[in-house]
């Protein structure tokens, strides 16, 4: 219960026996916490109704919210009635809305006069009420306070109507704020749903698109999809959020989008590229950046990743010869994922490496060429795969819950590496990183 009887009676007594300005402030002092407390609309409405009814000694009353389409007053709180619908409704004609919007202050209503403000087609009767106070904010109808008989048949005198009129704007404002909050919450929830659906749409669409990027050369097939997979796995290993991992997957899918501008014969050329050919190939970063810069992606790092995924930590990469501290983490992640998959893939000018050789070479490239922490994160995922490969998780190993970890490695890659071998690579990499020495193969 929000209000105890005794204080309310005392409050009501003082409302009528003390000087009016003080009375209004006393009631408002009680009303304030009721209206501004963090409660739902029904609790707030009932608390406010209770204060007003006690203050003017009304035996019954109800608070209504105005709904515009279709126009109606719908109850949100009611007290003092023997029987009252769960939601009482007064459908309103435009003449009622006009009268409620334009009338000044609370009005006495009678059997003869109630038709001015209320229809008789609702699920309650207007004859239950003796006074109506339209609730407005900035002249806009928000609702109405309807009050029944006062104690001992007392009249709604001009003084009492004025007191109700003094309190009404505060109740109106509280209801208005509640409605704003509700609509804001609804809109936020709608936006989140929309964002979620857009992300899911992008994910699916980009996966399909990634496959088409690699279609020009047979040895590139599946490369972008795998880079997306590895980039998301590294992000997860680095403790990034699911949304960030999702961004990394998308960045991996699109990192080579500029390849669509490269002559397909270059992609399949078995020997070394001529300088002009190499430049055309290298330009896929700049061309790709130009393409994605025109698209409003839900992930802001995509353009930078597309442009800079061939930059190297020591500044030996392209197109801008940026150093490790000049590129963002997403760029470093995709660079490692890209290099890793390239090592595990057949190329016209070399054979693909076995998993152990690729992991070792990748490890040796850090921290001089690739970011050391990102390579470590990849090795952590590889070790998890290797452990699962040696000893698959048993169904009862997770507190009665059967969970299967998604493997980091693409299914096309055999997991033929041992956890101790990976531990050795990690400790060597750690030693190089902590001593700050660069050891290149
Ligand atoms: Fe590339």
What is the per-residue pLDDT across 110-120, written as a single tens digit (0 to 9) for each?
877 778 898 88
User: What is the mean pLDDT of the segment spanning 340-366?
Assistant: 92
Question: What kind of fold does domain 5-185 have according to CATH?
Answer: Beta-Lactamase (3.30.450)
The yes-or-no verdict on residue 265 having pLDDT over 50 is yes
Query: What is the rounded average pLDDT of the residues 293-309?
Result: 88
| Res 19: pLDDT | 39
Distance 433 CA to ligand 1 centre (A): 26
Query: Which CATH code, of 3.20.20.140, 1.10.3210.10, 1.10.630.10, 2.40.10.10, is assigned to 217-435?
Result: 1.10.3210.10
* Among 253, 257, 245, 333, residue whose Cα is nearest residue 293: 257
- The sign of the CA dihedral 320, 325, 331, 336 is positive
Between CA 346 and CA 360 the distance in angstroms is 18
248 — phi, psi (to 5°)? -65, -35
How many angstroms does the Cα of residue 256 sit away from the middle of ligand 1?
A: 5
* Nearest alpha-carbon partner for 64 in 97, 89, 96: 89
Ligand 1 centroid to Cα of residue 247, in Å, is 18
Quote the pTM value.
Answer: 0.56
- In the reported structure, the alpha carbon of residue 347 is separated from the centroid of ligand 1 by a whole-number distance in angstroms of 14
Percent of the chain scoring above 90 in pLDDT? 48
pLDDT at 35: 63
Kindly state the greatest CA–CA separation across the chain: 106
In the predicted structure, residue 240 carries a pLDDT above the cut 90: yes
Q: Say what the alpha-carbon torsion angle 308, 309, 310, 316 is, to the nearest 10 degrees.
A: 60
Q: What is the mean pLDDT of the chain?
A: 83
Q: Is 7 helix (H, G, I), strand (E, B) or coil?
A: helix
338, 309 in Cβ contact below 8 A? Answer: yes
Coil, strand, or helix at residue 223?
helix
Decide: 65 and 142 in contact? Cβ < 8 Å: yes
Alpha-carbon distance of 355 to 419, in angstroms, equals 13
Reported as a single tens digit per residue, the pLDDT across 175-213 is 888 777 776 666 666 665 666 666 677 777 788 878 878
pLDDT at 404: 66
Ligand 1 centroid–CA 259 distance in Å is 8
Neighbours of ion ligand 1 (CB under 5 A): 256
Calpha distance 408→233 (Å, rounded):
6
- Burial class of residue 261 (count of CB atoms within 10 Å of its CB; 0-12, 13-18, 19+): middle
The band of 366, judged by pLDDT with boundaries at 50, 70 and 90, is: very high
Domain assignments of the chain as residue spans, ordered by start: 5-185, 217-435
* Helix-helix angle 242-254:329-343, to 10 degrees: 60
Window from 30-34, 134-138, 260-264, 291-295 with minimum mean pLDDT: 30-34
Q: Quote the pLDDT of residue 386.
A: 92
Measured in angstroms, how far is the CA atom of residue 323 from the centroid of ligand 1? Answer: 17
Beta carbons of 64 and 51 less than 8 angstroms apart = no
Taking residue 85's Cβ as centre, other Cβ atoms within 10 Å add up to 12
Residue 396: pLDDT above 50? no
Instruction: Give the 3-state secondary structure of residue 311.
Output: coil
How far is CA 113 from each of CA 93, 101, 126, 144, rounded to the nearest angstrom? 15, 17, 10, 16
Query: What confidence score (pLDDT) does residue 231 get?
Result: 98
pLDDT of 24 higher than 90? no
Within this chain, domains 5-185 and 217-435 share the same CATH topology? no
For the packed helices 372-390 and 419-435, what is the interaxial angle rounded to 10 degrees?
Answer: 170
Q: How far is the CA of 352 from the centre of ligand 1 (A)?
A: 17
Give the pLDDT mean for 289-305.
86
Centre of ligand 1 to C-alpha 107, Å, is 76
Phi-psi region of 156 (alpha: psi -120 to 50; beta: other; left: phi over 0): beta
User: For position 426, what pLDDT does the model report?
Assistant: 93
Has residue 14 got a pLDDT over 80? no
Q: How close is the Cα of 255 to the center of ligand 1, in Å?
A: 6
- Residue 326: is its pLDDT beyond 50? yes
Q: Residue 338: pLDDT above 90?
A: yes
Asked whether 223 and 203 are in contact (CB, 8 A), the reply is no
| Cα(321) to centroid(ligand 1), Å | 15
- Spacing, Cα 301 to ligand 1 middle (Å): 16
């Amino acid at each position: 219960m929000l209000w105890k009887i005794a204080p309310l009676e005392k409050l009501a007594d003082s409302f009528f026996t003390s000087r009016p300005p003080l009375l209004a402030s006393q009631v408002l002092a009680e009303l304030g916490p009721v209206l501004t407390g963090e409660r739902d609309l029904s609790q707030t409405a009932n608390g406010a109704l209770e204060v007003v009814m006690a203050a003017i000694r009304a035996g019954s009353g109800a608070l209504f919210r105005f709904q515009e389409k279709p126009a109606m007053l719908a109850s949100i709180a009611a007290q003092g009635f023997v029987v009252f619908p769960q939601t009482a409704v007064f459908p309103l004609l435009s003449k009622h809305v006009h009268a409620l919007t334009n009338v000044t202050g609370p009005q006495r209503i009678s059997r003869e006069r109630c038709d001015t403000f209320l229809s008789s087609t609702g699920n309650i009767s207007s004859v239950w009420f003796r006074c109506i106070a339209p609730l407005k904010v900035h002249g806009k109808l928000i609702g109405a306070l309807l009050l029944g008989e006062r104690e001992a048949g007392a009249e709604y005198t001009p003084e009492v109507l004025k007191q109700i009129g003094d309190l009404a704007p505060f109740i109106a404002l509280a209801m208005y704020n509640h409605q704003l909050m509700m609509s804001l919450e609804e809109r936020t929830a709608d936006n989140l749903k929309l964002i979620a659906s857009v992300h899911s749409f992008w994910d699916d669409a980009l996966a399909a698109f990634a496959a088409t990027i690699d279609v020009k050369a047979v040895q590139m097939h599946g490369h972008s999809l795998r880079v997306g997979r590895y980039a998301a796995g590294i992000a997860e290993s680095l403790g990034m959020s699911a949304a960030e991992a999702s961004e990394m997957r998308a960045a991996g899918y699109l990192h080579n989008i500029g390849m669509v501008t490269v002559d397909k014969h270059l992609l399949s050329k078995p020997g070394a590229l001529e300088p002009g050919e190499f430049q055309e190939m290298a330009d896929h970063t700049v061309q790709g950046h130009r393409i994605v810069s025109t698209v409003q992606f839900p992930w802001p790092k995509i353009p930078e990743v597309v442009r800079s995924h061939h930059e190297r930590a020591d500044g030996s990469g392209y197109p801008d010869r940026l150093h490790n501290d000049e590129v963002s983490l997403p760029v470093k992640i995709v660079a490692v994922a890209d290099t890793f998959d390239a090592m595990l893939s057949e190329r016209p000018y070399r054979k693909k490496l076995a998993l152990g050789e690729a992991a070792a070479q990748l490890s040796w490239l850090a921290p001089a060429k690739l970011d050391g922490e990102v390579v470590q994160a990849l090795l952590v995922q590889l070790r998890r795969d290797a452990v699962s490969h040696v000893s698959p998780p048993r169904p009862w190993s997770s507190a009665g819950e059967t969970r299967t970890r998604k493997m980091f490695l693409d299914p096309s890659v055999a997991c033929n590496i041992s956890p101790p071998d990976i531990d050795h690579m990690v400790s060597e990499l750690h030693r190089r990183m902590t001593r700050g020495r660069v050891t290149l193969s």
